[in-house]
A and B are shown apart, each in its own frame.
Chain A
């Protein structure tokens, strides 16, 4: 057995496999299929200061090798999370990380402050990249100034590990990465979904109620790999890679491109047991390659 431990800033994960926000609930939906303590970390559903109903149905469209979603950060708000969900998930023996989103800087800060008080939540993932909300969300992640502003404010209020999740819907993702790193982000995760669209030709209507939505699945993997590679070379903080990972080989490719850990998202819908299979597959790869530690393959791409 190779050593699968990896680090996200000061935070150690038992293995590099995490679940992407909004694809794994709070973990409990998957307990029948796998021992979720075998996952390196779980990023729970996007949480906002106030309750959000999300966007109207239909919110999903299947696409070739992927899907579009337009959920729109449906959640019951941070107070509900603290009172009702946290007590249930705090016993889970893995890193439970909360994805935090907001409509304005003050919302992000207020939500992060409330999460900071929770003993068993060692990190937050700041979502400045949701394409499915009208205000805030991706608007923060598409310019260096606004990304820096929100990260700076949250950094001052949040003392634990701060991961910032970037949007691929930008001209130069490396510049955004550098901007959030310089304001104190401990880690950068990427990519969030790519803005896309689906049309029902017979009815001449968009498939999604919001017209556009976020594309995920294996169709986005080459773009995600490229961006992880670019960001890895632009910043010093650890990078978390995600975007279309369907198996252990995909995960290893992201690590070779520079990711210290990876997240599995859409693949959870196809195989609810995929996370543990990927963790086992990474171990098999390391043994086959004669590596003692998973850290040996981070950024180990031969170019």
Chain B
């Protein structure tokens, strides 16, 4: 897919939570096609300590409003500066970057999309895309507490939502891999993004039951286009770039101990 350098205009900057903001970006021109799992390299202005762009997964594309959504977790100076952009300001991005999730042939396949923390971001876009293709996706979202469950109304537009919180304030208490839906139902494909221990646990669950499983990785990146070879993941084919050959990988290709 053709990659672009785009100056987008901030439509809204919504504070979802103390640590998360949702940026909706638009353009006077039609946004290029982007796929679930892909990401944008976002230039951070007004942060002298931030040198590199920040890779941020595409949270949702609102085709009617010509909007690109980015869910930003405030981690360091760069993402904090990004969280301060005001409506009308310009955000420069390079996108779309990376690969996408695979989709099954038949729409009656049971799909589970598992997201934890800011890893729920690409799951919304994937869910919306699958729903549009005729699938009925199921979401399993994990968070620390009810306050940390983000974009719940948006997820509910596209499928069933199951929730776990570590303190039990919403949904079932515990981690995503402890949710009863994993025991009570069977799935054909599992897609996941979130903290690595969570993805490893989800991958182990899938592998044990021989379920196709794809994970979205977020290794530290510099270029975002496969030139610098910094963000590599060790795979069955050696070191490959997460930015170009990923970020989505079938667990069979990874060398994780699961």
- Chain A interface (Cβ < 8 Å from any Cβ of B): 22-25, 29-30, 32-33, 45, 53-54, 56-60, 62-67, 69, 71, 74, 217, 266, 268-273
Q: Which residues in A have their C-beta under 8 angstroms from that of B229?
A: 22, 45, 54, 59, 71, 74
Instruction: Find out whether the CB atom of B2 lies under 8 angstroms from the CB atom of A32.
Output: yes
Instruction: Find out whether the CB atom of A59 lies under 8 angstroms from the CB atom of B227.
Output: no
Say yes or no for B231: interface residue by CB 8 A criterion.
yes
**Contacts A57-B233, A71-B228, A74-B239 given: A269-B53 contact, CB under 8 Å?**
yes
Instruction: Find out whether the CB atom of B227 lies under 8 angstroms from the CB atom of A273.
Output: no
Q: Which residues in B have their C-beta under 8 angstroms from that of A25?
A: 225-227
Q: Which residues in B have their C-beta under 8 angstroms from that of A32?
A: 2-4
**Contacts A23-B227, A74-B229, A269-B223 given: A63-B234 contact, CB under 8 Å?**
no
Interface contacts beyond A30-B225, A67-B51: sample of 10 additional A-B pairs, CB < 8 Å, sorted by A: A22-B228, A23-B228, A25-B226, A29-B244, A60-B230, A62-B50, A66-B51, A67-B52, A269-B52, A269-B224
- Chain B interface (Cβ < 8 Å from any Cβ of A): 2-5, 43, 48-53, 94, 219-234, 238-239, 244
Min CB–CB distance B81 → chain A (angstroms): 14
Instruction: Find out whether the CB atom of B220 lies under 8 angstroms from the CB atom of A60.
Output: yes
Q: How far is the CA of A273 from the CA of B225 in the complex (A)?
A: 13
Min CB–CB distance A60 → chain B (angstroms): 4
Instruction: Find out whether the CB atom of B228 lies under 8 angstroms from the CB atom of A270.
Output: no
A22, A58, A65, A272: which contacts B51 (Cβ < 8 A)? A65
Instruction: Find out whether the CB atom of A217 lies under 8 angstroms from the CB atom of B2.
Output: no
Q: How far is the CA of A270 from the CA of B3 in the complex (A)?
A: 15
Min CB–CB distance B109 → chain A (angstroms): 33
Instruction: Find out whether the CB atom of B43 lies under 8 angstroms from the CB atom of A270.
Output: yes
Instruction: Find out whether the CB atom of A64 lies under 8 angstroms from the CB atom of B225.
Output: no
Min CB–CB distance A19 → chain B (angstroms): 9
Q: Which residues in A have their C-beta under 8 angstroms from that of B233?
A: 57
Q: Which residues in B have their C-beta under 8 angstroms from that of A24?
A: 227
Q: Which residues in B have their C-beta under 8 angstroms from that of A22?
A: 227-229
Q: Could you write out 14 A-B pairs with CB less than 8 Å apart?
A: A25-B226, A29-B227, A32-B4, A33-B3, A45-B229, A56-B234, A57-B219, A57-B239, A60-B231, A64-B48, A64-B51, A71-B230, A74-B239, A269-B52
Instruction: Find out whether the CB atom of B222 lies under 8 angstroms from the CB atom of A60.
Output: yes
Residue of A nearest to B222 (CB): A269
Q: How far is the CA of A33 from the CA of B94 in the complex (A)?
A: 10
Q: Which residues in B have their C-beta under 8 angstroms from that of A59?
A: 229-230, 232
Instruction: Find out whether the CB atom of A268 lies under 8 angstroms from the CB atom of B4.
Output: no
Q: How far is the CA of A65 from the CA of B51 in the complex (A)?
A: 6
Residue of A nearest to B230 (CB): A60
Residue of B nearest to A59 (CB): B230
Q: Which residues in A have their C-beta under 8 angstroms from that of B239?
A: 53-54, 57, 74
Which 7 A-B residue pairs are closest in the complex by CB-CB distance? A60-B230, A25-B227, A269-B223, A32-B3, A29-B225, A269-B222, A29-B227
Instruction: Find out whether the CB atom of A64 lies under 8 angstroms from the CB atom of B220.
Output: no
Q: Which residues in A have their C-beta under 8 angstroms from that of B5?
A: 33, 271-273
Min CB–CB distance B136 → chain A (angstroms): 36
Instruction: Find out whether the CB atom of B3 lies under 8 angstroms from the CB atom of A60.
Output: no
Min CB–CB distance B61 → chain A (angstroms): 19
Q: Which residues in B have their C-beta under 8 angstroms from that of A53?
A: 238-239
Q: How far is the CA of A287 from the CA of B84 in the complex (A)?
A: 40
Instruction: Find out whether the CB atom of A69 lies under 8 angstroms from the CB atom of B227.
Output: no
A29, A54, A217, A271: which contacts B226 (Cβ < 8 A)? A29
